[in-house]
Structure 1
Amino acid sequence: MTAVALRGGVGVATRDRVDVEAAVREVYDVHYGRLAGWTARLVGDHDLAHDLATEAFLKLFRDFARVDDPRAWLYTVTANLVRDHWRKRGREALAYNRHEGGRDDFTPDPDLATTLTVRDAVLELPDRLRVVVLLHYFADLPVATVARQLEKSEGTVKRDLFDARQRMAKTLGGLR
């Protein structure tokens, strides 16, 4: 049944859609710029970042009735979109390396001390740790909000953050 049939009125669905559009517009006006900037820092590409942030807002528009905390929800959805992007890039790189693997013009990898960044250390984390780090440290969401968004306990999120810091310390610690 449609919203009009359920509420027994004509025009109720149109009014609800306008209400959702206004609510999403308000959230957009407040959070889009920061979300797009956060995403750009993660992916290193402003155009792609805007595409991902826009996609997150489209999903928010579609699912708005089920969203309790739009800001946290947007950062979680965007983190997942970024993770999907990184996975795709990883698959593309593997395919490229397989194709180009027989080349004779091999050049050694650059020195890690000059190229490794915190972003790279975060990218090396397993997905379960990476998302927690992105939401807590990069999106500045409190542990309780991250736990709620990821449907984990606060203790699990704290442990994941601890594990992530330990792994990143090992990765970055070798550069002294």
Structure 2
Amino acid sequence: MSSRGGLSVPAHESVDVESALRELYDVHYARLAGWTAKLVGDPDTAHDLASEAFVKLYREFAKVDEPRPWLYTVTANLVRDHWRKRGREAAAYQRHEAGRDLVTPAPDHATTLTVRDAVQALPDRLRVVVLLHYFADLPVATVARQLEKSEGTVKRDLFDARQRMAQMLGETR
């Protein structure tokens, strides 16, 4: 017997994929969608991204040993893609609005920066590690396996991310 995200799956036997996925969905979907909503700030988008992760799991089910960490890793990558798209859209909007003569004061960075903004501002290699470890509550060893990195590298990435976020959020020692 092997375990698939809390499910016991007989090794080397054919698995009713739809039943296994239905059970995984029942166990993990709500929490995954809630986690995603906290990251993207929009419940509808969060449900879309969580659903997309399950569609990808359906396609890759035979290759996935640990569905829960796999789902969070895929969803973290989907969130990262979402943030990139939103960044490109914001830049395009700013270019479009730049030609207008409206003068609005810039918001005070210190009062508008959130932890989500700080995480978004991290480089990809640090952002995904933070999302998986701190937001999805996956152990360092699991994050390392999912990202195909050593545990030491994941620990160093977490340290670097904390340092950068502390600077961004104005934390002093």
Pairwise CA RMSD:
1.8
What amino acid sits opposite 1:166 in the alignment?
Answer: Q
Q: Which residue of 2 aligns with 1:9?
A: none
Q: How many matched pairs?
A: 161
Higher fraction of helix: 1
Tell me, which stretches of 5 or more residues in structure 2 are unaligned?
A: 1-12
**What is the rounded CA distance, in whole Å, between the counterparts of 1:103 and 1:147 in structure 2?**
48
1:126 to 118, 123, 126: 123
> 1:24-173, aligned counterparts within 5 Å?
24-173=21-170
Q: Tell me which moved more, 109-118 or 32-41.
A: 109-118
Q: Secondary structure at the match of 1:75?
A: helix
Q: What secondary structure, in the 3-state scheme, does the structure 2 residue paired with 1:30 have?
A: helix
Max radius of gyration: which structure?
1
Paired position in structure 2 for 1:5: none
Tell me the TM-score normalised to structure 2 length: 0.89
Q: Which consecutive residues of structure 1, in runs of 5 or more, have no partner in the other structure?
A: 1-15
- Percent identical among aligned pairs is 82
> Any runs of at least 4 consecutive aligned residues in structure 1 with deviations exceeding 3 A, and if so which?
none
> What amino acid sits opposite 2:62 in the alignment?
A
Cα 1:37–1:17 shift into 2, 3 Å: farther
